[in-house]
């Protein structure tokens, strides 16, 4: 028996108007270029890639905060309603977002407990007493005291603020949490505590999470599966341990090799040649071709598609793995 995905995105495309240049000409930026993904109930999918690869845009498209130019998003078996409609607002109660900067996500003039209460009021959770209890339970669940709940966001530490954001996001018992770089504004120790909290929330509540991050170590701690993005597209996806231990796409290999170990930079890290990707200048063929140390001629004119390798749930978009054009790893 197969289980239907909670969220299914198909062939999402998002192009932003244009970026004016000095000479007056403008260029469209294709931030997301044909992304398809599935998020199952109760799982955490990590979405990783360099900054500007389009991963945050994918998060916003999935929540309906922006409309795709092409493609579709299905939530719990139904097409995601148009943003702003009553149906979309009902869906949004079941899909919440946690942002990178908790201070800008919170109202600086309102005590955090009142902000945790807001979604309960909006979605008519119950009586005043029921809401009081729910707020107290939520603060407790994220490790905040009642006294901290009475404070303004500016009176809390960065980690406490992110806990308050999480409590608010969980208020309506969502089915999905989209966490966009939720720990990157925090110091190392607090990052670790928030990741532990996210993993605990996920295992207790069964909420599905899309965890967007450039930090592979953070992603590994909370994810079941991972999708690696490069220049608007997914280049590799699969079970997190398999992808991170045996990466098959040259970009994933370079990304993983660049993660410092306990003794500092990896002496065997793969250094990419060429310029960082320019989303306004799309070349034909594989998007990674200008920087790929293993490119062959076909890479410059044919774009590879995401296809399964040995394990059907591990998929890679690279000609070398599907056409027998193998060249040794440098």
Interface with ligand SF4 (CB under 6 A), residue from 197, 209, 216, 318: 318
Binding mask 71-110 for ligand SF4 (x = CB under 6 A): ----------------------------------------
Q: How far is the CB of 281 from ligand SF4 (least distance, A)?
A: 16
**Which listed range, 36-44, 168-176, 178-186, 318-326, lies at the site for ligand SF4 (CB under 6 A)?**
318-326
Q: How far is the CB of 286 from ligand SF4 (least distance, A)?
A: 3
Q: How far is the CB of 194 from ligand SF4 (least distance, A)?
A: 34
Nearest to 34 by CA among 248, 240, 229, 250: 229
**Which listed range, 56-64, 157-165, 192-200, 290-298, lies at the site for ligand SF4 (CB under 6 A)?**
290-298
DSSP class of 247: -
Between β-strands 225-230 and 233-239, what pairing exists: parallel, antiparallel or unpaired?
A: antiparallel
292 binds ligand SF4 (CB under 6 A): yes
Which residue lies nearer to ligand SF4 by CB, 30 or 134? 30
> How far is residue 143's CA from residue 164's CA, in Å, rounded to a whole number?
9
Which residue lies nearer to ligand SF4 by CB, 174 or 285? 285
**Which listed range, 5-13, 52-60, 94-102, 291-299, lies at the site for ligand SF4 (CB under 6 A)?**
291-299
**Which listed range, 42-50, 54-62, 184-192, 288-296, lies at the site for ligand SF4 (CB under 6 A)?**
288-296
Tokens at residue 29, please?
């930026």
299 binds ligand SF4 (CB under 6 A): yes
Which residue lies nearer to ligand SF4 by CB, 194 or 226? 226
Q: How far is the CB of 231 from ligand SF4 (least distance, A)?
A: 11
Tokens at residue 15, please?
């192009």
Contacts of 76 (CB under 8 A, 6+ apart): 6, 94, 175
Number of residues that bind ligand SF4 (CB under 6 A): 13
CA distances from 200 to 45, 93, 207, 212 (A): 16, 21, 11, 18
194 binds ligand SF4 (CB under 6 A): no
Interface with ligand SF4 (CB under 6 A), residue from 159, 162, 288, 314: 288
Q: How far is the CB of 71 from ligand SF4 (least distance, A)?
A: 22
Tokens at residue 301, please?
């004119």
Of all helices (H) and strands (E), which one includes residue 48? strand 44-48
Binding mask 241-270 for ligand SF4 (x = CB under 6 A): --------xx--------------------
> How far is residue 289's CA from residue 294's CA, in Å, rounded to a whole number?
9
> How far is residue 144's CA from residue 193's CA, in Å, rounded to a whole number?
13
DSSP class of 326: -
Strands of 151-258 (E only): list them.
176-180, 208-213, 225-230, 233-239
319 binds ligand SF4 (CB under 6 A): yes
Interface with ligand SF4 (CB under 6 A), residue from 148, 160, 223, 289: 289
From the DSSP assignment, how many helices (H) and strands (E) are in the chain?
12, 12
The b/e string for 93-131 (b: 16+ C-beta within 10 A; e otherwise) is bbbbbbbbbbeebbeeeebbbebbbebbeeeebeeeeeb
Residues that bind ligand SF4 (CB under 6 A): 249-250, 286, 288-289, 292, 294-295, 299, 304, 318-320
């Amino acid at each position: 028996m197969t289980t239907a995905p909670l969220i299914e995105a198909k062939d999402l495309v998002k192009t932003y108007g244009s970026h004016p240049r000095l000479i007056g000409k403008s260029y469209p930026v294709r931030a997301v270029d044909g992304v398809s993904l599935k998020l199952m109930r109760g799982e955490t999918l990590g979405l990783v890639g360099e900054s500007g690869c389009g991963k945050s845009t994918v998060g916003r498209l999935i929540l309906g905060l922006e409309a795709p130019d092409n493609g579709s998003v299905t939530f719990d078996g139904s097409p995601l309603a148009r943003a702003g409609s009553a149906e979309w607002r009902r869906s949004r109660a079941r899909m919440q977002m946690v942002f990178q900067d908790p201070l800008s996500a919170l109202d600086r003039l309102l005590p955090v407990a009142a902000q945790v209460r807001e979604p309960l009021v909006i979605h008519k959770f119950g009586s005043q007493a029921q809401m009081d209890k729910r707020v107290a339970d939520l603060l407790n669940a994220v490790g905040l005291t009642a006294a901290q709940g009475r404070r303004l966001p500016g009176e809390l530490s960065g980690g406490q603020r992110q806990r308050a954001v999480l409590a608010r996001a969980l208020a309506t018992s969502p089915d999905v949490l989209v966490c966009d770089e939720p720990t990157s504004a925090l110091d190392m120790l607090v990052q670790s505590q928030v990741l532990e909290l996210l993993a605990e929330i996920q295992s207790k509540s069964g909420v599905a999470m899309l965890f967007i991050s450039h930090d592979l170590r953070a992603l590994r701690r909370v994810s079941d599966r991972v999708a690696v993005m490069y220049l608007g597209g997914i280049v590799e996806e699969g079970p997190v341990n398999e992808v991170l231990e045996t990466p098959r796409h040259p970009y994933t290999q370079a990304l993983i090799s660049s993660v410092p170990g306990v003794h500092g930079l990896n002496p065997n890290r793969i250094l990419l040649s060429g310029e960082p990707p320019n989303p306004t200048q799309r070349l034909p063929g594989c998007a990674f071709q200008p920087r790929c140390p293993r490119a062959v001629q076909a890479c410059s004119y044919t774009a590879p598609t995401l296809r399964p390798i040995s394990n059907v749930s591990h998929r890679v978009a690279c000609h070398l793995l599907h056409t027998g054009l193998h060249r040794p790893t440098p």
